[in-house]
Structures are given as C-alpha cells and as structure tokens.
Amino acid sequence: MKNLLTQFRSFDRPAQVLMVNQFSINVGFYMLMPYLAGYLAGPLGLAAWAVGLVLGMRNFSQQGMFLLGGTLADRLGYKPLIVAGCLLRVAGFVLLAAVESLPAILLASAATGFAGALFNPAVRAYLAADAGPRRVEAFAVFNVFYQAGILLGPLIGLALTTLDFRVTSLAAAAVFAVLTIVQIWTLPAHRADTTAAKTSVLEDWRVVVANRPFVLFALAMIGSYVLSFQIYLALPLQAAVVVGDDRSDTALVTSLFVVSGVVAIAGQFRITSWLSRRWGSGRSLVVGMAIMALAFLPLIALPSPAALGGWAAAGALVLTAALLAVGTAAVFPFEMDTVVTLSGGRLVATHYGFYNTIVGVGILLGNLGTGAVFGILSDAHLGALIWVVLTIVGSISVTALYLLDRSARLSPPPAETTVTETDEVPAAS
C-alpha cells in the first residue's frame, strides 16, 4: 500500500484524478452489472432471449462505438468526452431503476454501453499524454485502481441488491453523478488534437487502418483478451463441474474473482518493475502472454475431481485464475504503452478506440466459441480439451507477438510526433 501511494503521488494531478476516476467508474459499474441478468429474469420476469438481448445491446453499444468515442475525443478534447460518458451512465442507470418495459430497458442498456465508448478511449489517451515517458508506470498504477474497483464494486452491489436492485441502480447512478461533478471541477482541460480537426473523420480512420504494425498488434492481442475473459465464462463453468450438481458453486466462483483481484493489486508493481528492468515493452508482452497461455496447464492436469479429488480440482482452478491475473498484470501496462507508441503520438484516442473495437469483436467470437466448445466437450466427457484449445489460442498470440517484436514492428515509427501536452488550466465551470 505504501508503494502504491508513493507511485500515485509521483504523478501530476490529471493522472491522479484519472486513476481515482477509473476506480470509481469500476465500482459504480460492477456494483450493478453482475446482478442485472438476475433482476431482468427474476423480478421483471423477462424471457431468456430478452435478457440476452439486453446484455448484448450493452456490449454492442460499447464495443461497437469505441472508434467513434476515440475519434470524438481527439477532435473535441479528452475531458468533454470523459464528462459526457459519466453523465450518460447516470442517465442510463436512473432509467434502469425507473422502467420495466423491454424497449425502455434496451434504451437504458444502450446508454450505459455507449457511455463507456465515450470515456474509455479518452481516459487512456489522456493518461498517456499526461504521463509522457512514464506511460508504463502510469498504466501499472492505473491497473491497480482498475482492479480494486472490480473487486470492491460487486461486494457493495451484493449488499445493496439484497434490499432491491433499484436501490443498487440508483446508488450506481449516484457514484457517476458525484464523479461527473468531481471531474468538472478538478480535471484540467486538454487541448483537442489540432491535426485531427484539419482532416475528415474518414481520413482519420484511414490513417489508423493503414497503420499496418498497429493493426497486426491489435489482432495479435485478441488472444490475450479471449484468455483473460475466461474468468467470467469458462472458469465459472468449470467451478460448477468441480463442486457437482448437488452443491452451490458460489463460494468457489467468488474465490476466483477475489484471488484474481488480490494478485493483480498486490503484484502489479513488482511484475511491471521486474519486466521493465529486463526487457522492453515488446519482449515483456511476449512473456506476459506466455504466462497467460500456460495458465491453463493446471486444469489440463486436473480437469475434474475424479483425478485427485474435489480439493485438488478446486486448487487447480484457483491456480489458473491466479496465473491469468499475473499474465494480465504483466501485459496491460506494456500493451497500453505500445498502442501509443505505434500511433506515433497522433490520433491516440482514435487508435485506442479502434484497438478496443478489434479486441471487442475478438472477445465476442472467442466467448461464443468457448461456450459452444465447452458444452460439446463436457457432454463428450473430454473436458480437458477445452483447456488445451485455450492454451493453443494463447500460444498463437505468443508467436504473433514474438514475430512482431523480432521484426521491430512494435518499435516507435521513424517519424514519431510528440504527444499533445496537457493544458494545465483547470476547468471551473
């Protein structure tokens, strides 16, 4: 904790505000979203297809609009998009608490998703601009706040949801309302990208798409996100297999999230520091991705309780979650730094938006494939093969990143421009 405070205080005010903001954003989001499906299917009585439609709408309105959000951030400035996204989250969560019809719920879900598309690229681009050469360190601290919000949010939401989901929704809206006010008064304005203002949106998008090393990097990183998201899909499904049909898997699933969060929070600085001392961003990405690919080996060795018993199978599952957390912590700061590097310091938010769109599509396809394969292999009593498949997916990403690094495609472009500096004039209105 002392190390975290020391690192946090070493950054300028904008970076500090953005880190605290991200913690609050994740607390507000995760205190509500894990319980939304249960609310829709339970008290509101929506059919399974309708619940899936609502959740799919939220995901699409965020992942599908990241590019637009990043483009607007480069043209209008980072702060307006961050504030607008938080305000839209307030509206979306209030609407979720107030309505019960499917069309209105879909509108609220779309609003909460689009809000994320507005502020996510802007936050990352702003942090990168303010941190300058300390980008890797800044994103390491950022990830600690990020993970802490994910860890705390569901616990607060669980307590509130026992009263009423509407209370949880309004509380989440209140978090974003306070966050909006704090940002208006404390987050300095940031100049828009003047080069973007002189070109059309389509020209900006063509610049990003034509950036071949960047596009190849984004495609190579899809595997990282497919693997890291298995904490929400394949690992909980495996938890049900481990405990059996006659017992609840809640405790085991909760332990997965707790272990994942604690490992990321406690180990982030040590992991980033260790990798930074030995290698640059490219090789560190390869090492981090390799850890994620190898994370599923315990489950290949102990795919079911039949091998060495239930406790051993549960231990293998928790160990996999911990290794995934280590790999994710290793990858994230260098990943965010590489996006800025490959952008050449120009249209940074647009690059982040395009990057998030690519990996978002990969997550969608990866989760659909993982879910289908898990069911097929489980029915065929070949459950261990799903972990082999995921290890292969990770190995493909490791190979792709290694080749990109070896060919120097993850190095700065020859004509890299300077990232726009922060305008230190606070916005007081």
383's tokens: 């459950």
Chain segment 277-293, per-residue pLDDT in tens: 888 889 999 999 999 99
Q: Report if residue 420 sits inside a domain.
A: no
Looking at the fold, whether 178 and 226 belong to one and the same domain comes out as no
The answer on pLDDT for 330 being more than 60 is yes
Q: Do 142 and 84 share a structural domain? A: yes
Bridge partners of residue 188, in order along the sequence: 426
Mean pLDDT of the 331-350 span: 92
127 and 240 both lie in a single domain: no
Confidence tier at 412 by pLDDT (50, 70, 90): low
Residue 102 domain flag: yes
CATH number, domain of 124, equals: 1.20.1250.20
425 part of a folded domain: no
List 426's β-bridge partners, or say none.
Answer: 188
For residue range 160-215, list pLDDT tens digits in order: 888 888 999 999 999 999 999 999 988 888 766 666 567 888 999 999 999 999 99
Last-in-domain residue among 186, 213, 242: 186
The residue-averaged pLDDT of 313-337 equals: 93
Domain of 302 in residue numbering reads as 200-409
Could you tell me if residue 397 is inside a domain?
yes
Name the pLDDT band for 323 (thresholds 50, 70, 90): very high
Residue 429 is classified by DSSP as -
The number of folded domains in the chain is 2
Specify whether 122 is located in the same domain as 148. yes
Buried b (16+ CB within 10 A) or exposed e, 186-203: ebbbbebbeebeeeeeee
Same domain, 204 and 332: yes
What does the pLDDT look like over 88-146, one tens digit per residue? 999 999 999 999 899 999 999 999 999 999 999 999 999 999 998 899 999 999 999 99
User: How far apart, in whole angstroms, are the C-alpha atoms of residue 220 and residue 402?
Assistant: 10
Mean pLDDT of 38-65: 83
Residue 252 reports pLDDT greater than 90: no
Give domain status of residue 6, yes or no.
no
Per-residue confidence band for 70, with pLDDT thresholds at 50, 70 and 90? very high
- In the prediction, which pLDDT does 37 show? 79
Angle between helices 250-278 and 234-243 (to 10 degrees): 130
38 and 134 assigned to the same domain: yes
Mean pLDDT of the chain: 86
Q: Is residue 426 part of a domain?
A: no
Residue with more model confidence, 84 or 381: 84
pTM listed for this prediction: 0.84
- Name the DSSP letter for residue 132: G
Residue 158 sits in the same domain as residue 241 = no
- Look at residue 409 and give its three-state secondary structure: coil
> How distant is the alpha carbon of residue 200 from its chain centre?
29
Question: Is residue 410 scored above 80 in pLDDT?
Answer: yes
Can you tell me the mean pLDDT for 390-416?
Answer: 85
Are 177 and 225 in the same domain?
no
Phi and psi torsions of 188, nearest 5°:
-60, 150
pLDDT-wise least confident of 73-77, 344-348, 368-372, 397-401:
368-372
